[in-house]
A and B are shown apart, each in its own frame.
Chain A
Amino acid sequence: MEKSPVLVAAVTLTGLIVLGFALPDWAQFLMTIALAKGLVSLGIVAGMRCGVVSFGQGLYFCLGAYTAGLMSRWTGVTDVFLLTFLSVIVAGGVGVIFGPLLSRYRGIFFAMLSLSLSMILFGALAKTTSLGGTDGVNVAAPTFAGYAPEGGALATALYLFIVTVTVIIGTVMRIVFDSQSGLVSLAVRSNELRVEYLGSSANGIVAVSYVIAAILGGVGGVVTALAIGHVDPEYAFWTTSGEFVFVAILAGYLSIPAVFVASIVLEVVRSFSNLYFPNTWQLVLGVFLLVVILVRPDGIGSIKLWRRRESAGAAEPSA
Chain B
Amino acid sequence: MSKKKTYEAEDFSHHVTSMGTYFAIFAALMVLTALTVWVAFQDFGSLNVPIAFAIATVKATVVVLFFMHVIHSPKMTAAILVGSIVFLGILFLLTFSDYLSRFWPMA
A, B: real partners:
no
Which residues of A line the B interface, CB within 8 A? Answer: none
Which residues of B line the A interface, CB within 8 A? Answer: none
